[in-house]
Amino acid sequence: MSAALVKTVLTDKAVVDENNKRLVLGCGALVYDLLRLLKQNPSFSDRVNIQCLPASWHNSPQLIAPGVEKYLSENAHLYKEVYIAYADCGTGGALDKVLNKYKAKRIEGAHCYEFFAGTDAFEKLSEEEIGTFYLTDYLVKNFNRIMIKGLGLDKHPELFDAYFKHYKKLVYLAQTENDDWKKDAEKYAKDFGFDYEYRLVGTGSLDSVFEEIDIGLLS
Amino acid sequence: MSEEDDFDLNDLDDKELVEQIQDDLYDGLDAEVTEGTEILLSRGWDANDVLGEALVGGMKIVGIDFRDGILFVPEVLKCAGAMKGGMSILRPILAESAEDTSLGKFVIGTVKGDIHDIGKNLVGMMCEGAGFEVIDLGINNPVENYLEAVDTHEPVILGMSALLTTTMPYMGVVVEEMEKRGMRKDVHIMCGGAPLNQEFADSIGVPAYGRDAARSAEMAEEHVRGLGKNRAHR
């Protein structure tokens, strides 16, 4: 992994207070949500540095734990505390092992769909239709890049069945209200031949990252 | 490929043709792999040798490059499609072959709660290529499906697959139930899937963890050969 893959989102103000810098290291698919949450907490802006790793790792979860480890090994010492905006994300516990080394905590849950929707609601959705395919704001906005090109369907549409033959429904777990994205998601469901459901769930327990920073700053 | 680069597979000698089939398989060119397979057969090659040297040999390279991050899932799926092309020619010949070279039955299925089957299908294909008779249980299998399949088919190996962190613990449920019923002595259990690792496999009492499709097939073959079950029908 090259360092160029790490997307620096907000750094300048973070160096103001050397003793109180906090790092939020997260998935690139959460970048807009993290920035929005940061804006809602203006007192954090000079104390929190957000860094995001490639969202494309959504399709290659085996890259997440080594990628996080590489970033933390080079940068964790620069921060007073490290917060991780990932769930397990298909790493099968490998991410937790890395985080234990750095005493960093991630968001509870198996993946972002679960922490956005809430565990109970997500489990209910899965029980209702096991063949459910989930989208978030980021995935709707970047559908062609992450899903179509990322899965090679632009060049090899014949692979569609290999990926999606067992899916029957698309649920858009929206973080924000956006009519264009809503229409796009509905269209993707139609194109794929899936039933469609829209749920405005917000950022769910992603908020916990900033709640923990708040507690950390007060302590 | 430009016309200048175009060539006839018939012009290649056997060694070159095997290498070309492996290259074409790597590039996901199913028509070329099928044609190469037919040419080797027409030259009197045994179907088992075509399968082992050209197709499985090619998929092993694919497996290594997938493991090393050189190839990704879309490319591997194209390779698998190309291998299927060759297999479609070889399968009926192998089935009619007087020589029984089967390594035995390999039952494989994705566990309950999980509908992902790309990895499972790749393992199934590689194991078929290695010489197993593969019985595919499909996706979302409760423990009863595995138990019934073991009873019915008497496989030498039972393979379980999961893609989700939330579903992989179900493998432990299957293992426990098989232990309770005294079925483990009769069948070797293997597990695999993207979020799994050796530590998890050890924790559920299934040390045979296949990190990728090619390695899984190798491990399955090593197990049977190790038992001296070259003819492993039970």
Contact list in B for residue A166 (CB cut-off 8 A) is 115-117, 139
pLDDT tens digit sequence for B32-41: 999 999 999 9
Closest CA to B58 of B31, B9, B25, B35: B25
Q: Which distant-in-sequence residues (6+ apart) come within 8 Å of B190 by Cβ?
A: B157, B158, B159, B160, B206, B208, B209, B210, B216, B219, B220
For residue B200, list chain A residues with Cβ-Cβ distance below 8 A: 92-93
Alpha helices (H) along chain B: 14-26, 30-42, 47-49, 57-67, 73-96, 118-130, 143-153, 170-180, 198-203, 213-226
Q: What is the CATH number of the domain that holds A102?
A: 3.40.50
Task: Retrieve residue A188's tokens.
Answer: 């993707």
B195 with A59: Cβ contact below 8 A? no
Question: Could you read off the pLDDT of B54-82 as tens digits, one per residue?
Answer: 998 898 888 888 878 788 888 888 998 89
Cross-chain residue pair B77–A62, CB shorter than 8 Å: no
Residue of A130, A138, A136, A23 lying closest to A78 (CA atoms): A23
Q: Does A196 touch chain B (CB under 8 A)?
A: no
Sole residue written with tokens 């070309």: B20
A214 and A168 belong to one structural domain: no
Q: Which of A59, A62, A130 sits opposite B115 (nearest CB)?
A: A130
State how beta strands A22-27 and A81-85 pair: parallel
Asked if B197's CB is within 8 angstroms of A62's CB, the reply is no
B59 and B173 housed in the same domain: no
Per residue of chain A (219 residues), give pLDDT as tens.
Answer: 333 344 444 444 444 345 568 899 999 999 999 999 988 888 787 788 999 999 989 888 889 999 999 999 999 999 988 999 999 998 988 999 999 999 998 999 999 999 999 999 999 999 999 999 999 999 999 999 989 998 889 998 988 999 999 999 999 999 999 999 999 999 999 999 999 999 999 999 999 888 888 776 666
User: Does A190 lie in the same domain as A129?
Assistant: yes
Q: How far is A13 from chain B (nearest CA, A)?
A: 36
A166 touches chain B (CB under 8 A): yes
Q: Are residues A138 and A178 in the same domain?
A: yes
- Is there a single domain that holds both residue B132 and residue B222? yes
> Which of B74, B99, B124 marks a domain boundary?
B99
Specify whether B111 is located in the same domain as B95. no
Provide φ and ψ at A181, rounded to 5°: -65, -35
* Predicted ipTM of the assembly: 0.79
Contact B77 A166 (CB under 8 A): no
Structure tokens given for A163: 């990926």
DSSP state of A165: T
- Same domain (yes/no): A14, A98: yes
A42 with A101, same domain? yes
pLDDT tens per residue across span B89-128: 998 998 887 666 678 999 999 999 999 999 999 999 889 8
CA distance A25 to A86: 8
Q: Which residue of B has its CA nearest to A92?
A: B195
Q: Does the pLDDT of residue B5 top 70, yes or no?
A: no
B68–chain A Cβ distance below 8 A for any pair:
no
Domain that holds residue B26: 1-99
A106 and A127 in one domain? no
The pLDDT score that the predictor gives to residue B100 is 66
Q: What total number of domains does chain A contain?
A: 2
Mutate which: B29, B68, B115, vs A, most A CBs within 10 A: B115
- What is the pTM for the complete model shown? 0.82
Cβ–Cβ below 8 Å for A90 and B74: no
* Contact A91/B at CB under 8 A: yes
pLDDT for res B130: 82
Per-window interface: B 177-206 vs A, CB < 8 A: 194-197, 199-200
Cβ–Cβ of A163/B118 closer than 8 Å? yes
Reported as half-sphere exposure (CB side, CA atoms, 13 A), residue A16 has a value of 12
B91-101: burial string, b at 16+ Cβ within 10 Å, e else:
eeebeeeeeee
Q: What pLDDT score does A215 carry?
A: 75
More confident residue, B230 or A213: A213
Contact at 8 Å (CB) between B114 and A167? no
Task: Give the pairing type, strands A7-10 and A48-53.
Answer: antiparallel
| Residue from B73, B75, B141, B204 whose CB has the most chain A CBs within 10 Å, to mutate | B73
Domain end, chosen from B99, B120, B153, is at: B99
pLDDT tops 60 at residue B2? no
Last residue of a domain, one of B99, B127, B150: B99
Kindly state whether B211 is in contact with chain A, defined as any CB-CB distance less than 8 angstroms: no
- Within this chain, do residues B17 and B87 fall inside the same structural domain, yes or no? yes
Full domain range(s) for residue A141: 119-200
Query: How many Å apart are CA B196 and CA A93, to the nearest integer?
Result: 9
The secondary structure of residue A59, as a DSSP letter, is G
CB contact under 8 A, B196 and A156: no
Beta bridge partners, B141, equal B111
What pLDDT score does B103 carry? 87
| Interface check B164 vs A, CB under 8 A | yes
Q: Are residues B182 and B119 in the same domain?
A: yes
Mean pLDDT, chain B, rounded, equals: 90
Q: How far apart are CA B81 and CA B68, in angstroms?
A: 21
Are A101 and A196 found together in one domain? no
